[in-house]
Amino acid sequence: MKKIYCLLAVAVIGLSACSTAKLSQIPSYKLEIIQGNELDQDILNTLQPGMSREQVQMRLGTPLLRDPFHANRWDYIFVVSRSNRVKEEKKLTLYFDKEGKLVHAEGDALTAQAQPVNLGTTSPRE
């Protein structure tokens, strides 16, 4: 019986030395996670109204989201995260007409560039 109490006391003392504060000081490698399509500003500048779906797909790649309820809408999303924290996030939504020609583009990927892509959607800024 005394052996059990001694082992229990040793285990409690041993476990009390472990704390999350000490564990957080141990360096660990955190992998950078890149998801989606990289939206390069030079490629976004080449988008023109009237481009076909195939031309857009050749420049930007396959869209991350194709909504079955909105067949004329493509969504591109690019996210870079590390340690469950988002470092960079860009979104781009493209709209096509019934013939499959690019009509409208919107998203923060367009506003992040120096010169906005004019697809007939925004007026020039003064």
The end-to-end CA distance of the chain, in Å, is: 86
8 within domain boundaries: no
Residue 26 has pLDDT above 80, yes or no: no
Is the distance from CB of 117 to CB of 45 less than 8 angstroms?
yes
74 within domain boundaries: yes
122 within domain boundaries: no
36 within domain boundaries: yes
- Of residues 122 and 96, more confidently modeled: 96
12 within domain boundaries: no
Domain with 77, as residue range(s), is 32-111
61 within domain boundaries: yes
Indicate the pTM of the whole model.
Answer: 0.63
105 within domain boundaries: yes
- CATH number for the domain harbouring residue 94: 3.30.1450
What mean pLDDT, rounded, does the chain reach? 80
Residue 66 CA, chain-centre distance (Å), reads 16
118 within domain boundaries: no
Considering the chain, what percentage of its residues have pLDDT values greater than 70?
80
Q: Note the pLDDT tens digit of each residue in 46-70.
A: 889 999 999 999 999 888 878 888 8
Considering its fold, how many domains does the chain have in total? 1
Residue 119 has pLDDT above 90, yes or no: no
Sort strands 73-82 and 32-36 into parallel, antiparallel or unpaired.
antiparallel
